[in-house]
Amino acid sequence: MERSAEEGGLVREAGESARAAWVGLDAEGYPARGYAWYVVGVLLVAAITSYLDRYLISLLVEPIKRDLLLSDTQISLLQGSAFAVFYVVFGLPFGALVDRRNRRAILVAGVSLWSAMTVACGLAGNFTELFLARAGVGIGEACLAPAAYSLIADYFRPAARGRAMGVYNIANYIGTGASLLIGGIVISFVGHATATTLPVVGEVASWKVVFFVVGAPGLVIALWLFTVREVPRKQIGGVQSRAGAFAQLAAHLRLHPTAYLSVYTVSTMTAFVGLTFAVWGPTFFIRQLGVPPAEVGLHLGPVTAIAGTLGSLSSGVLSDWLVRRGYWTGRFLVPMFWWPIAIVALLVIGFAHSELTALAGTAALAFGSGIGLASVPPMIQDITPNRLRGQATAMHFILSGLLGMGIAPTLIALVTDHVFNDPKALNVSLLVVLLPVAALGLIASLLGRSPYAAARRQLAGTNVESSVGGARP
């Protein structure tokens, strides 16, 4: 048995050496900076397609309702629960796989699945078929974030992770903006025609064309991911155990319950606000301000993409600066900049009487949420051993998906349909639901700083590489 273990160790060592030679790892196991940023670029493109596929339906609410005879509540289920429930159910198992298996292979499979299911959305002829296709998109996308953030954490030293993950996080806003922009362009192209004739497929409703155009390129991106290589896992840390993957995660969370509760509350409330407006924002412009759907995509898309990108990049620079300066609270300070912006931006949007004012509020909201969302993944990496990072990251996206994509959109619809009983009251519904959520996020940010610092200190004590750029760890 001992000999077998020794032989196994030699095999693993040989494998690590082969990977090191392939990607040019330095003595500490990090690849060349240029290749590391190339990998971030590949993952960024894959993530953009995921957000594009995820949010595209938000611009097509009215034609889908008309063609499939759906209510606002059914539409909210398609936008939220159909995606989020399966995203949540498969998130933790995929996270466990990420912690133990080849992350690139997991990414290739996930990208291929969600791209194929996006095309399937365009083939749906009723609510059930569209619901199942959206569920397939959710299953495929559940693997992306755990695998991508786990890889990035092993490609970059701790003091540079914030910037790398901030760049990756701009996919959220570029993807959302691109879904609106591309959707607007396609809607403008097909004009007011209710049907479009395509080769092979034949005549289909014009809104279905958008799903075909957006879904197909993802299959090419899946092939591109084969240029991404695994690197040795670092910062293993923590207490090793023979327990199952989920049991190990639960044991680690119990060591720092308040720290993780605070981090997950901040991340979930941030997603709740940002994702709710991503889902209902286009409908707000169409329904409340009378902006044509094509114009909503052309105007809202670039605003969301640019403002969110600036917020994400600012978050990464700020969080790395805090780490280099040696603050134990570190990246957990970053969300404090986001919540005041959220409250002001929501009030501007809710009381806007012109498209320009609403766009200004949207830009502020996207910038602020970029700061908040981009801070979360590196926060999790800084207090989690490598062997649990896939699952810990999956938990973040599970909770965000469950509330931000699952419950939040339907909650807005229920308030609009059953409390105000008026589709034109969508702006009031957004304020009633989202302002208390922003207040809760602010409270969690204030209360979680000390527990987070304690968790970070403990993990730093188990890893030699935890010292950051000369500043105290």
Mean pLDDT in order along the chain per 10 residues (473 residues): 43 47 63 91 92 75 82 80 83 87 92 93 89 93 90 87 88 78 65 59 73 86 93 64 71 90 91 84 87 80 88 90 78 88 94 92 94 89 85 83 74 85 85 91 88 84 43 35
Query: By the 8 A CB rule, do 213 and 186 touch?
Result: yes
Query: By the 8 A CB rule, do 425 and 283 touch?
Result: no
198 bridge partner residues: 202
Secondary element (H or E) of residue 196? strand 195-198
CA angle 152, 48, 236 (to 5 degrees): 15
The span from the CA of 226 to the CA of 246, in Å, is: 29
Question: 33-232+245-462: CATH homologous superfamily?
Answer: MFS general substrate transporter like domains (1.20.1250.20)
* Listed residue (367, 331, 356, 352) closest to 449, CA to CA: 331
SS3 string of 92-138? HHHHHHHCCCCHHHHHHHHHHHHHHHHHHHCCCCCHHHHHHHHHHHH
What does the block give as tokens for 183? 């959707």
Residue 191 buriedness (CB in 10 A; 0-12 / 13-18 / 19+): exposed
Query: By the 8 A CB rule, do 423 and 287 touch?
Result: yes
What does the block give as tokens for 389? 């990072």
The span from the CA of 86 to the CA of 395, in Å, is: 14
pTM > 0.85: no
Residue 36 buriedness (CB in 10 A; 0-12 / 13-18 / 19+): buried
* Listed residue (368, 379, 377) closest to 327, CA to CA: 379
The phi, psi pair for 468, rounded to 5°, reads -120, 105
Alpha carbon distance, N-terminus to C-terminus of the chain: 40
Residue 1 buriedness (CB in 10 A; 0-12 / 13-18 / 19+): exposed
Residue 312 buriedness (CB in 10 A; 0-12 / 13-18 / 19+): buried
The span from the CA of 349 to the CA of 280, in Å, is: 12
The phi, psi pair for 293, rounded to 5°, reads -55, -40
Residue-level pLDDT at 365: 95
How many other C-beta atoms are found inside a 10 Å radius of the C-beta of residue 348? 18
The span from the CA of 241 to the CA of 246, in Å, is: 11
Q: Show me where the domains of the chain are located.
A: 33-232+245-462
* Listed residue (31, 87, 451) closest to 253, CA to CA: 451
Q: For the packed helices 171-190 and 355-383, what is the interaxial angle rounded to 10 degrees?
A: 140
Query: By the 8 A CB rule, do 270 and 441 touch?
Result: yes
What does the block give as tokens for 448? 């979680």
The span from the CA of 473 to the CA of 466, in Å, is: 6
The span from the CA of 255 to the CA of 276, in Å, is: 32
Half-sphere exposure of 119 (CA within 13 A, CB side): 13
State the amino acid at position 272 in one-letter form.
Answer: F
SS3 string of 390-436? HHHHHHHHHHHHHHHHHHHHHHHHHHHHHHCCCHHHHHHHHHHHHHH
